[in-house]
């Protein structure tokens, strides 16, 4: 797991997010203010500051089931709806084992997406 980075998100939420990410040990936690995970340049989970709202990227069928089961919505960030991302309810964030199943599904989905080129600074 990555070293603690500076963020305005409450520490308990960062810790819970890290526990969810630990479901897939090979996935590094990225981002300072907004921790996230990605594979092949495709982000698939996010913890958005300042309040620590979590988002997961899911394939269509799993996304619809998640929205219905947890009575939640698509994730919205900075006034824009992120169509493939669901808003993870705080109650689920606290249920590590249950959330880890969805995190793994998100990771498996992200692996199927077309790789994006990295933008390394020159």
- Residue-wise pLDDT for 41-52, tens only, equals 999 999 999 999
The reply to whether 4 falls in a domain is no
Domain of 96, CATH number, reads: 3.30.1460.30
The reply to whether 3 falls in a domain is no
Distances from the Cα of 63 to the Cα of 36, 51, 58, 93, 103, angstroms: 19, 23, 5, 16, 12
Enclosing domain of residue 45: 11-111
The total of structural domains in the chain comes to 1
The reply to whether 1 falls in a domain is no
> For 59-111, what is each residue's pLDDT tens digit?
999 999 999 999 999 999 999 999 999 999 999 999 999 999 999 999 999 99
More confident residue, 2 or 48: 48
Tokens 């899911």, located at residue: 58
Measure CA 52 to chain center: 11
The reply to whether 54 falls in a domain is yes
Evaluate if residue 6 carries a pLDDT over 90.
no
pTM for the full model? 0.90
Among 95, 42, 101, 113, residue whose Cα is nearest residue 66: 101
């Amino acid at each position: 797991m990555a070293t603690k980075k500076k963020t305005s998100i409450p520490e308990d939420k960062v810790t819970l997010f890290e526990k969810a990410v630990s479901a897939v040990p090979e996935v590094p936690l990225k981002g300072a203010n907004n921790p996230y995970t990605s594979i092949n340049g495709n982000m698939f989970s996010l913890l958005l500051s300042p309040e620590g709202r979590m988002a997961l990227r899911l394939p269509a069928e799993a996304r619809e089931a998640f929205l219905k089961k947890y009575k939640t919505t698509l994730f919205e960030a900075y006034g824009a709806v992120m169509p493939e991302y669901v808003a993870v309810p705080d109650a689920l964030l606290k249920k590590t084992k249950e959330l880890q199943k969805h995190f793994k599904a998100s990771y498996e989905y992200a692996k199927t997406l077309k790789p994006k080129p990295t933008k390394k600074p020159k």
